[in-house]
Amino acid sequence: MDIINPQILTLITTYKCTAACENCCFNCSPQYSRLMSISEIKEYISTCKATFPSIKVVVFTGGECTLLKDDLISAISFCANLGLKTRIVSNGHWGKSLETAQNYIKLLTDNGLSELNISTGKDHLKYVPLTNIINIIQAADLNDKITGIVVSIEKREDYNGNNPIKILREKATLLKHREKTFIVESPWVNFRKRNILFNHQERIEKREGCKNIFSGIQINPNGQLLSCCGLACEYTPVLKLGKFTQDSLLRKYKQQFNDILKLWLYTDGPLNILNQINETSKIECRHDCDYCLELLTKSNNIKKLLDIDNKRAKEIVLKYIIDIKTLKK
């Protein structure tokens, strides 16, 4: 079976965070203590790059990856020396003033960073003020080595007129290099009370396959390989591939393509699968990964997944083969 080569290496460097957002899907908080060490990070990067030359970008995320301090800088520089692009995902706690933001971005870019991804929204704002995000947007605009900055804002209906997207988009119109700044809303799942939806109107009825699976290598702070870094990845053994080791990386990655369920997630996506295995669907989820949680953690669904017959399995494999033939054209 042909495999899809991974393009991105994502290192979930820690679940420690300066914030403790109410609906953080990984329950990150200042209480968590484990951080990837620089020797672990270098081993992951050099092994993944040697095993999969298709990898061009390394993403450092968490938790809050900037808590790795000097180790994050060394890791970025290590990637640059290997010809790899880098991106960090952060809540922007370090942007307390324009000057602080400029200095930190200079440190990052002098060592090779080219992309920034900043998260904000109602939960985040309890810990990191919007002025930090504004300082970071402006500082990134002034730094020519930053090629792209994405600010992801929790998509929800309960801002009561204080939606940060409006303020940030207005600020973005004043930037010198507007084209490299993207202010986007991203789905935000109420993790504490799953039956309450943050944006009823825009419930996602996605019927496409999940293309996050098979797009990269993901490693969590405990050195476990994950099939994706979506919301469900830490809550089901289905999306865990076992401990990272140099000797087993290629085998574990390739094994995914022998797993009918993963092929099915890739070709059809979790909502489509739920609809196919359930005669009547009363699913109160709204984000693709939320459907995935429903599919992979509810015993009634797991039982039905285990019962799929040969005919269905063959159809999934055929669909996957056609999909990747189209992809490779």
Burial of 147 (0-12, 13-18, 19+ CB in 10 A): middle
CB of 64 or CB of 71, closer to ligand SF4: 64
Whichever of 221 and 270 has its CB closer to ligand SF4, that residue is 270
Q: Which residues of 206-228 are buried (b: 16+ CB within 10 A; e: fewer)?
A: eeebbebbbbbbbbbbeebbbbb
Which parts of this chain interact with ligand SF4 (CB under 6 A)? 17, 19-21, 24, 28, 62-64, 91, 119, 124, 210, 212-213, 228, 230-233, 265, 270, 288-289, 292
How far apart are the C-alpha atoms of 281 and 260, rounded to whole Å? Answer: 22
Residue placing its CB nearer to ligand SF4 in the complex, 45 or 229: 229
Q: In this complex, which beta carbon is closest to ligand SF4, that of residue 62 or of residue 112?
A: 62
For residue 217, what is the enclosing H or E element? Answer: strand 216-219
> Could you tell me if 41 and 47 are in contact, meaning their C-beta atoms sit under 8 angstroms apart?
no
Residue type, 220: N
For ligand SF4, the closer CB: 183 or 261: 261
Shortest Å distance, C-beta 68 to ligand SF4: 14
Bridge partners, residue 153, by sequence: 120, 185
**Minimum distance from residue 170 beta carbon to ligand SF4 (Å):** 23
